[in-house]
Amino acid sequence: MTRILSLAQRLTSPLLPDDYLTLIDPLLAQNSLRGRIVSIESHTTRSSTIVIHTARPVPPFQAGQHIGVGVDLNAVRHWRTFSLSGAAPLRPTQTLHVTVKATGSGGVSDHLVNHAKPGDILFLEPPTGEFTLTEGGAESLLMIAGGSGITPLLSMIRTLTVTDTPPYVHLIYSATTRDDMVALAELRDYANTMPWFKLTRWESTVQGRIDQSALAQIEPDWKDAVAYVCGPAAMLTAVDGWWREARLSDQLKIEQFQTQLVVVDGEGGTATFSASSRTSDAPANEPLLTVGEAAGVLMPSGCRIGICHTCVVPLKSGKVRDLRTGRVHGEPDEPIQTCINAAACDVELDV
């Protein structure tokens, strides 16, 4: 097969075999994973589940993992990471489900909820992630979801519904209002028909934010359960503190969709993008990714929250600051994640 592909590349040069195959069918590409939208199910005015048929089978993923989804917007490919919301398959599959909430930013999420349609082609990255159900399982699971943080937990719950001996699961689902809760009818059905599953709804506009005393009232045995929590950064920070205080951090698993960045009082500098012959002011609090894009540099990017490492470029000189921790670092030729690093002085990037 390698020899055949090599011969094909020589015969079709300067184009690649993929260039011809994708003219016939975009899903025939061999050097990248692609999928076609087969259906879209709207849950609320701002959220939908996108069902994708992939070009070739994807290895079985674990409940709770995520994939990268790429969409071409205004002739530029944008990537966003989404949790898989369907039950984890036992065999390779060509059907993937992602549940998406529009953010109002005009990016990939908004496009998929407001403009995507069956037949559209999506660029995909293989499933990955460590926010997964522990093998062997625990007797009791506590799941806490905030807003769109329900999506990886939905995958876990749906997977457990088809297992022989699921553990006791208590899902605490927090959202602004009941109308913002995705798959609520399905979750209610599980609670009414499956003795191992309990659902507690929490409307923050009515009940306020969940605090530690409220958690103890909702689930008195929370310290005995293995907890899976996904939601806004503020909620995750609070939950992490409760478990640390109880010295139970080893029983807590957290997944977040957005990276919580520190506020920096220091100075930035000038960013030079040597390969593109561009320079720009680089504020101390602005990721080098957005600095480069604003300067007209074609910056590699993916999830934009520090997970996928697609945005990595070599640092030629200067120092950068990790916006998650405030740590200043940088050596010549060090690979830099531009989406979560800012200039700590004048910097030069090889892009």
Determine contact, residues 35/124, Cβ cutoff 8 Å.
yes
pLDDT, residue 15, reads 45
Rounded-to-integer distance, Cα 293 and Cα 290, Å? 5
Could you tell me how many residues make up the chain?
Answer: 351
Which H or E run includes 33? strand 33-44
Q: What is the pLDDT along the chain (351 residues), one digit of tens a residue?
A: 445 545 545 554 544 444 444 444 566 555 678 999 999 999 988 999 999 999 889 999 999 999 989 898 887 778 888 999 999 999 999 999 999 999 887 889 999 999 999 999 999 988 988 899 877 667 899 999 999 899 999 999 999 999 989 999 999 999 999 889 999 999 999 999 999 999 999 998 888 889 999 999 999 999 999 999 999 888 888 898 999 999 999 999 998 765 566 667 778 999 999 999 999 999 999 999 999 988 989 888 766 777 667 789 999 999 999 888 888 999 999 999 999 899 999 999 999
CB 66 within 8 A of CB 94: no
Rg (CA), the chain: 22
Between the alpha carbon of residue 214 and those of residues 200, 202, 207, 246, 270, the distances in Å are: 12, 10, 10, 16, 48
| Predicted TM-score of the model (pTM) | 0.74
Calculate helix-pair angle for 17-24, 2-12, nearest 10 degrees.
Answer: 90
The four Cα atoms 187, 192, 193, 194 give a dihedral, to 10 degrees, of 70
Q: Where are the alpha helices (DSSP H) in 84-222?
A: 108-114, 150-160, 184-193, 204-207, 212-218
Domains of the chain: 32-124 (2.40.30.10), 140-255 (3.40.50.80), 269-349 (3.10.20.30)
Distance between CA atoms of 265 and 260, rounded to whole angstroms? Answer: 16
Position 61, amino acid:
F
